[in-house]
Amino acid sequence: MPLARRLLVDRMRPVHAFVDVGLSVRARSQQQAQQRTPTRIQHRRLLSRATAILNAGTASCQSDMRHIRCNPAQPCKSPAWRCAVLPEAPAQLPVPSLPSAKETAMSNFVTVADGARIFYKDWGTGQPIVFAHGWPLSSDAWDPQMLFMGQNGFRVIAHDRRSHGRSSQTWDGNNMDTYADDLAAVIEALDLKDAILVGHSTGGGEVAHYIGRHGSKRVAKVVLVGAVPPLMLKTEANPAGTPLEVFDSIRKGTGGDRSQFFKDLTTPFFGANRDGNTVTQGMRDAFWLQGMLGGVKGQYDCVHEFSEVDYTEDLKKIDVPALVVHGDDDQIVPFDASAKLSSQIIKDAELKVYPGAPHGLTVTHADQFNADLLAFARK
């Protein structure tokens, strides 16, 4: 071979080798792709068949990418691996009905007349104590009392007022008549008898109005704590009451920056602006959390119910022993316009005044109140 040609061949060997390697890699890739392709097609076919089977009403066959209906009474012409006969579906799936007000104690909800669902807690055994919470809170506000009284042999029940806590947030029905009827629905659903009703703040109005509307046949005793009755609003007949402008500001705060308003409200509620107070951040946070869990429409409407409703006639109908507890430094519900008068209107009432105690005394003075509640319940 001539020298020039041999030199050219020697120079081209690396190029040929590189091309050979590339062709070899490409060939192997094509071979592997051909090996993988059937598997992918099989997967697609299996997926299509599974989808067809799941979507069939009585039977489904797949042939040439089309679904064919089969009659289970006749042999199917499609291959066995392409057809699956399923049980015939029911004509109509059963729709569970809404529970009535006679639900069992394990449900944690009672559905009332207008369809609203009222959440409740039901712990322990023994004589029942039913707690009604204040505005804008929930049944969690009663945890210190429920734990203590449950540990002392009582059955303790507390519900979330509609549009508060975990209960339904309703547009309508956020009024004291409905609150009292909701309470009655819970009491009747659980078939409570010889119950002790305990109401704080707005809950005190709810308890009083319950007796006013439903009587005391299921009630043994009543406890009103920092309660709003007989009337919070200042009028000519109630000069010790609170001016309407105060309640208008509460409505404005609730309908505006509700979160900040509830944070600010914890100061007078717990007496955090008083020297020597023992208010913790945890107390404030719990109040805020419970308040924000409720619905703004229901909370807004409720302001009228705790401020402008007159409960005098309801108090007159309380014909069971009653304990009235109030702090003399209550900055939310003034003592002179509430407990002082209520204890005089109720036929058989015992009044206990806590010196220096705020509106939220069930938390700040929990030990003292728990002891008084236990003593009264055991009488």
Q: Residue 361: enclosing H or E segment and its boundaries?
A: helix 361-364
Structure tokens at 5: 């040609």
248 among known catalytic residues: no
Tell me how crowded residue 199 is: count the other CB atoms within 10 A of its CB.
27
CA distance 102 to 189: 4
Q: Catalytic one among 133, 164, 359, 365?
A: 359
CA distance 288 to 266: 8
Structure tokens at 327: 């702090």
Q: Residue 211: enclosing H or E segment and its boundaries?
A: helix 202-214
Tell me how crowded residue 98 is: count the other CB atoms within 10 A of its CB.
8
Whether 160 and 171 have beta carbons less than 8 Å apart is answered as no
Structure tokens at 11: 């120079």
257 among known catalytic residues: no
Which is nearest to 124 in space by CA: 144, 147, 145, 101? 147
End-to-end CA distance of the chain: 127
Give the chain's largest Cα–Cα span: 134
Q: Catalytic one among 60, 167, 201, 342?
A: 201
Identity at 336, one-letter amino acid code:
D
Structure tokens at 102: 């006679």
Residues in the chain: 379
CA distance 199 to 223: 6
CA distance 379 to 375: 6
Tell me how crowded residue 218 is: count the other CB atoms within 10 A of its CB.
19
Give Cα 320 to chain centroid, integer Å. 33
201 among known catalytic residues: yes
Q: Catalytic one among 200, 330, 338, 342?
A: 330
14 preceded by a cis bond (ω within 30 of 0): no
Which is nearest to 362 in space by CA: 288, 272, 269? 269
Could you list the active site residues?
201, 330, 359
